[in-house]
């Protein structure tokens, strides 16, 4: 022990342990990429300022008239409830899927991610069809039990139910990624010191999961904040609903821009709150050696309840919606409707989403690296600001790119290139959050080892960080893929003329009550999305064997 203290090498390695290492600063390529991303993030805000300033006195009158405080509180209630419910569903689910001997774990892993791809207006419509005052459930109960009215689904309960069932995967995917990469030695130590499985989960696993849960919960919260489809059909008036009222009904994009700025402030509040949950704690292994995969915990007689839990979630979030959709298709075909041609929409959806996922991940990497490895006010601001596009209504982001694109980049305007750029602005945080969480689990000392062995800073990123970040890349990529598959306003407004995706086809058909056609496209959307998810998971299994 004394010799270790006296040895110069030992002291030196102690000095290099803190995060602010000898590295002079981020590589210029990293900074350059971050600057490009910063411009992308800023565009919608600049546009909203340009438009919002034109609103003037009328805007303040509107804010006053809206009883703004009241609808802000309604929005905040919904955001808090949905986020809480998502965490309650997603964390146990993630743990069961990654850490136990639950049967069919890989199947559950695919199925539980898919509700994310169901557009919220479709989800809400299906909930009304199933649970509405005269919905399927009521009709089923009317005969045997004589129940004439169910509890009111419209309003808060319906919005909460719909948005929770659609957005718990936001938390699930990052939590799964974190659990996959988490070093099990702490948990094993806790068990060996006599703590029960539950106590270990509460005192070790949960705190280690905090960054993943927080980043996923943030996405769920911001998604709820920016949702229009579910709250409008459920008649729960939120702030975003008021913004869409300006866009859709009053055709007043200037007042809408003013309200969007207020929404951005609201989002900033949520971002700030999430920042507070962050600590300086290290989430990577601190001693030498590599973590091995955790040993699955035998569920024993908990196996059936666990299966019932997973099955129940999948039943309500996926199987029931898909059954109603399937029934619409069957009913339409038997009534003489023709089966729509799904091919070109499917191809467009998959290709543009896949390309955009690569772009989003590539752009997320510098933001995540800077915020973890080079903590500063600027890198923190960039990371936080990357979430704003996700919190704004899609139509506002799309119009900002119409404004800049049609004026300054006519060559790119209404090409798939600008559309992919729009997806980047909208879905950057899905990538950033997942990569950031993943990077927290990687010890900077491995990077330092790579550097000391002669690799350049960028080579270290590609040969050390990226392979270790694989669970995060997969989680971020899956989230982004599913989000882009269902994206609507930007695709409609910025896509090239005649560009159809599955999401636009679902919308087009459903808006005119072509139920069979809409349902066929929606089913295709879910099934097609499941293919890459399945491929990823099968590949993971193949590699782990």
Q: Could you tell me the smallest distance in angstroms from the CB atom of residue 144 to other proteins?
A: 19
Q: Does 9 bind other proteins (CB under 8 A)?
A: no
> Which of 461/523 has CB closer to other proteins?
461
Q: Which residues contact 321 (CB under 8 A, 6 or more apart)?
A: 115, 118, 122, 123, 126
Interface stretch with other proteins, choices 17-25, 175-183, 354-362, 533-541 (CB under 8 A): 354-362
Q: Could you tell me the smallest distance in angstroms from the CB atom of residue 505 to other proteins?
A: 8
- Backbone torsions φ then ψ of 341, nearest 5 degrees: -80, 115
Interface stretch with other proteins, choices 101-109, 158-166, 181-189, 452-460 (CB under 8 A): 452-460
Cα of first residue to Cα of last residue in the chain, in angstroms, is 41
Separation between Cα atoms, residue 407 and residue 153, nearest integer Å:
46
> Which of 92/135 has CB closer to other proteins?
135
Q: Could you tell me the smallest distance in angstroms from the CB atom of residue 487 to other proteins?
A: 13
Q: Which residues of 376-408 are buried (b: 16+ CB within 10 A; e: fewer)?
A: eeebeebbbbbbbbbbbbbbbbbbbbbbbbeee
Q: Does 227 bind other proteins (CB under 8 A)?
A: no
- Backbone torsions φ then ψ of 297, nearest 5 degrees: -80, 130
Separation between Cα atoms, residue 356 and residue 426, nearest integer Å:
11
> Which of 333/538 has CB closer to other proteins?
333
Q: Which of 38, 63, 71, 77 binds other proteins (CB under 8 A)?
A: 71
> Which of 168/328 has CB closer to other proteins?
328
Q: Does 290 bind other proteins (CB under 8 A)?
A: no
Q: Which residues pair with 100 in a beta bridge?
A: 297
Q: Does 6 bind other proteins (CB under 8 A)?
A: no
Q: Does 33 bind other proteins (CB under 8 A)?
A: yes
Separation between Cα atoms, residue 81 and residue 87, nearest integer Å:
10
Each residue 477-516 as x (binds other proteins by CB under 8 A) or -, in order, gives: ------------x--xx-xxxx-x---x---xxxxxxxxx
Closest CA to 52 of 269, 265, 267: 265
Q: Could you tell me the smallest distance in angstroms from the CB atom of residue 20 to other proteins?
A: 23
**Under rule CB under 8 A, how many of the chain's residues touch other proteins?**
82
Q: Could you tell me the smallest distance in angstroms from the CB atom of residue 39 to other proteins?
A: 13
The alpha carbon dihedral of 420, 526, 503, 169 has a sign of negative
Q: Could you tell me the smallest distance in angstroms from the CB atom of residue 406 to other proteins?
A: 4
Q: Which of 11, 19, 202, 235 binds other proteins (CB under 8 A)?
A: 235
Residue with tokens 């229009």: 228
Q: Does 147 bind other proteins (CB under 8 A)?
A: no
> Which of 107/409 has CB closer to other proteins?
409
> Which of 9/411 has CB closer to other proteins?
411
The vertex-410 CA angle with 405 and 416, nearest 5°, equals 70
Q: Could you tell me the smallest distance in angstroms from the CB atom of residue 304 to other proteins?
A: 37
Cα Rg, the chain, nearest whole Å:
24
Q: Which of 80, 282, 362, 538 binds other proteins (CB under 8 A)?
A: 362
Residue with tokens 């569903």: 89
Q: Does 66 bind other proteins (CB under 8 A)?
A: yes
> Which of 129/322 has CB closer to other proteins?
129
Each residue 247-266 as x (binds other proteins by CB under 8 A) or -, in order, gives: xxxxx-x-------------
Per CB under 8 A, contacts with other proteins among 79-138 are: 125, 128-129, 132-135
Separation between Cα atoms, residue 494 and residue 398, nearest integer Å:
7
Q: Could you tell me the smallest distance in angstroms from the CB atom of residue 473 to other proteins?
A: 12
DSSP 374-398: S--HHHHHHHHHTTHHHHS-HHHHH
The stretches of 245-375 forming alpha helices (DSSP H) are 253-276, 303-314, 320-334, 343-373
> Which of 123/211 has CB closer to other proteins?
123
Q: Could you tell me the smallest distance in angstroms from the CB atom of residue 232 to other proteins?
A: 5
Quote the tokens at residue 500. 């159809």
> Which of 358/381 has CB closer to other proteins?
358
Neighbours of 501 (CB within 10 A): 29
Separation between Cα atoms, residue 395 and residue 242, nearest integer Å:
13
Q: Are 62 and 258 in contact (CB under 8 A)?
A: yes
């Amino acid at each position: 022990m004394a010799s270790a203290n006296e040895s110069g090498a030992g002291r030196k390695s102690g000095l290099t342990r803190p995060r602010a290492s000898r590295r002079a600063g981020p590589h210029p390529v990293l900074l350059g990429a971050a600057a490009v991303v910063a411009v992308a993030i800023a565009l919608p805000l600049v546009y909203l300022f340009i438009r919002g300033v034109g609103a003037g006195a009328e805007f303040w009158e509107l804010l006053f008239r809206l009883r703004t405080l009241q609808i802000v509180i309604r929005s905040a209630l919904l955001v808090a409830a949905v986020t809480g419910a998502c965490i309650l569903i997603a964390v146990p689910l993630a743990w069961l899927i990654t850490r136990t001997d639950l049967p069919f774990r890989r199947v559950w892993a695919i199925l539980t991610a898919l509700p994310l791809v169901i557009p919220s207006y479709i989800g809400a419509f299906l909930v009304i069809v199933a649970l509405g005052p005269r919905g399927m459930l009521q009709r089923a109960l009317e005969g045997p039990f004589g129940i004439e009215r169910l509890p009111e689904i419209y309003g808060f309960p319906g919005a909460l139910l719909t948005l929770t069932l659609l957005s718990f995967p936001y938390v699930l995917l990052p939590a799964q990624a974190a659990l996959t990469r988490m070093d099990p030695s702490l948990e094993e130590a806790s068990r060996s010191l006599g703590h029960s499985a539950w106590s270990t989960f509460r005192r070790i696993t949960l705190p280690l999961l905090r960054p993943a849960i927080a980043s996923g919960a943030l996405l769920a919260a911001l998604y709820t904040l920016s949702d229009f489809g579910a709250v409008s059909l459920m008649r729960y008036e939120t702030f975003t609903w008021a913004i869409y009222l300006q866009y859709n009904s009053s055709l007043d994009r200037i007042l809408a821009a003013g309200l969007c700025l207020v929404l951005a402030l609201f989002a900033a509040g949520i971002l700030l709150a999430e920042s507070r949950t962050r600590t300086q704690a290290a989430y990577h292994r601190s001693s030498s050696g590599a973590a091995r995969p955790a040993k699955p915990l035998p569920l024993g007689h908990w196996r059936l309840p666990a299966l019932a839990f997973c099955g129940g979630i999948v039943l309500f979030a996926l199987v029931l919606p898909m059954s109603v959709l399937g029934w619409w298709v069957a009913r339409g075909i038997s009534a003489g409707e023709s089966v729509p041609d799904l091919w070109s929409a499917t191809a467009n959806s998959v290709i543009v989403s896949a390309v955009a996922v690569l772009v989003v991940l590539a752009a997320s990497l510098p933001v995540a690296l800077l915020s973890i490895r080079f903590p500063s006010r600027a890198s923190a601001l960039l990371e936080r600001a990357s979430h704003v596009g996700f919190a704004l209504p899609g139509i506002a982001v799309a119009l900002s790119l119409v404004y800049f694109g049609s004026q300054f980049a006519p060559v790119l305007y209404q090409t798939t290139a600008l559309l992919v750029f729009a997806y980047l602005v909208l879905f950057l945080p899905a990538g950033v959050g997942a990569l950031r969480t993943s990077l927290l689990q990687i010890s900077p000392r491995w990077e330092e080892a790579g550097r000391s062995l002669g690799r350049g800073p960028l080579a270290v990123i590609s040969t050390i960080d990226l392979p270790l970040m694989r669970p995060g890349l997969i989680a971020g990529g899956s989230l982004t893929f599913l989000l882009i598959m269902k994206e609507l306003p930007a695709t409609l407004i910025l896509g090239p003329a005649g560009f159809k995706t599955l999401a636009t086809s679902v919308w087009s058909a459903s808006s005119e009550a072509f139920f069979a056609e809409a349902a066929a496209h929606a089913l295709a959307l879910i099934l097609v999305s499941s293919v890459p998810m399945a491929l990823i998971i099968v590949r993971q299994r193949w590699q782990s064997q």
